[in-house]
Amino acid sequence: MKRTALTVLIAALLLEGTFWNPAMAGKGPQNVFDAVMTITVYSDGTGTVDVVAELKNPSYRSIVLSASNSSKELEKLVEQLVYTNLVDDMENRRSNFTVYVPPEGPVKLLGGWRAEVRFSVAPFMIRGEHGMECPYSGPLDFVAGGRVYSFLFRRVILILPRNATVVYTFPEPNQSADNVFIWDNATFLPMFAFKEEQGSEGQCIPLELNLSYSPAEGKVFFNASFLCNGTLPKFPGARGVSYRRAGNLSVISGYLVPKISYTEGLLKREWRAYLELPFEFKKVNGASKVNGESVEIIATKRGPLWLPLWAGVSSALIGILVSGVRRWKHGRKGEP
C-alpha cells in the first residue's frame, strides 16, 4: 500500500471527530450492561463476534425479576439489546452478509446477571485497496427504550490471523501484541486492514447435504456438513442460518428459496424445486435428481379428482362384490 494514501485516509478520519466521538455526536454511553466484546477474524475474511455482558442497570434488573420466567426474560433482553443492536449497526453500513448463530440461538446465560452473545459473520472482511478491510467499522448505536445511546464496551478485543501483516488500525489501540489489539472504553468497531501471504487462506471441504422441500412454504430446508481448516463455511443464498462446530467439522442449517415449477392434473399435483448449489457435495440426501451443483426435488400430492374417483371405484368394486355374493347365494339356494 502507498503510505501517502494511508496517511490521507487516517487524517480524514481524525478530522471527522463526530464520526468516532459519541460525546461530540450528542450520544451518551449506554449504562445497561458492562460488556466486553471479542472479535476473531479468520484468514478468509469471516469473523466471529463474542460478547460477554453483565446486566447492571437496576431498572432493567427489576423488569427481569418481575417476569414469570426471569431467565427467559434476561435472555430476551440480551438478544434484543446486544445481539440485535450489533447486527443492525452492521447492516446500516453493509447489508450483504450472512449471520451464523448457534442452533440454540445467539444468547447463552452464564449465571447471575451474565450472558454470552455469539455469532459469526461472512464476510466480515472484504478485499479493498489496502488488503482485507472491515466494512462495518465505525461508531456503534445502542437503541433502548426508544432512545439512541452509544454502545459502550469496557473492552473491545480484536484477534487477527497470526500470519497476517497488519496494514493499519484506527483508532490507536490501548494495547497490542502478536496481532491481538485491545481498545478500552470503546464505543466503536475499530477500523483495520491486513494482508496475508498468498495461499494462506483457510479452506472448507463440502461433505454431506440433507434437503427437505416444503411446497407450502416455498422453501428447501437444509443442513450441510463441511470439513474446515481455519475458517467458517460459507453458503451463498442461504437464509435463517445457524451453525455448530466439533473440531474441524462444521454443520450449518437454514433454508434456500428454489425456482419452482408446478403442474396439476386430475389425479396428481406436482411441484419441482430447482437449486443451483454454490459447490458440489460428496453426498446429497433428499433430492430426486443431482447433477453436480444442480439439484432437483420433486414433491407430489393427490389431485382434486383423486378422492371422488377413488370413492367411485371403491363403490363400484363393492357393488360388484355384493352382486357377486348375492348371485352365489342364489345359486346355492337353487342346488338340490
Say yes or no to pLDDT of 87 above 90.
Answer: yes
* pTM given for the model: 0.72
Among residues 160, 175, 195, which one ends one of the domains? 195
Domain region containing 267: 203-302
Among residues 164, 195, 226, which one ends one of the domains? 195
Task: Give the list of residues 6+ apart from residue 134 with CB closer than 8 angstroms, or none.
Answer: 124, 125, 189, 190, 191, 192, 193
DSSP character string of 200-250: ---EEEEEEEEEEEETTTTEEEEEEEEEEESS----TT-EEEEEEEETTEE
Residue 271's CB is within 10 A of a number of other CB atoms, namely 20
- Asked if 131 and 215 sit in the same domain, the reply is no
DSSP character string of 132-179: EE-TT-EE-EEEETTEEEE--EEEEEEE--TT-EEEEEES--SEEETT
User: Which grid coordinates are listed for 81?
Assistant: 439489546
Per-residue pLDDT reduced to its tens digit, 231-273:
778 888 888 888 888 777 889 999 999 999 988 877 788 899 9
Q: Which helix (H) or strand (E) holds 314?
A: helix 306-333
Instruction: Indicate if the alpha-carbon torsion angle 183, 24, 86, 44 is positive or negative.
Output: negative
- Asked if 71 and 131 sit in the same domain, the reply is yes
Q: Does the N-terminal peptide bond of residue 22 adopt cis geometry, omega within 30 degrees of 0?
A: no
Say yes or no to pLDDT of 66 above 50.
Answer: yes
- Asked if 116 and 161 sit in the same domain, the reply is yes
Please state, in angstroms and rounded to a whole number, the distance separating the CA atoms of residues 181 and 150.
21
- Asked if 50 and 172 sit in the same domain, the reply is yes
- Asked if 38 and 68 sit in the same domain, the reply is yes
- Asked if 168 and 313 sit in the same domain, the reply is no
Among residues 163, 195, 227, which one ends one of the domains? 195
Region 202-222: mean pLDDT is: 91
Number of structural domains found in the chain: 3
pLDDT at 285: 94
pLDDT at 211: 95
Region 278-289: mean pLDDT is: 91
* Cβ atoms of 238 and 256 closer than 8 Å: yes
Per-residue pLDDT reduced to its tens digit, 95-153:
888 898 988 899 999 999 999 999 999 899 998 888 899 999 999 999 998 999 999 99
- Asked if 239 and 184 sit in the same domain, the reply is no
Please state, in angstroms and rounded to a whole number, the distance separating the CA atoms of residues 309 and 249.
51
- Asked if 188 and 211 sit in the same domain, the reply is no
- Asked if 292 and 314 sit in the same domain, the reply is no
- Asked if 169 and 274 sit in the same domain, the reply is no
* Cβ atoms of 250 and 221 closer than 8 Å: no
- Asked if 140 and 98 sit in the same domain, the reply is yes
- Asked if 320 and 209 sit in the same domain, the reply is no
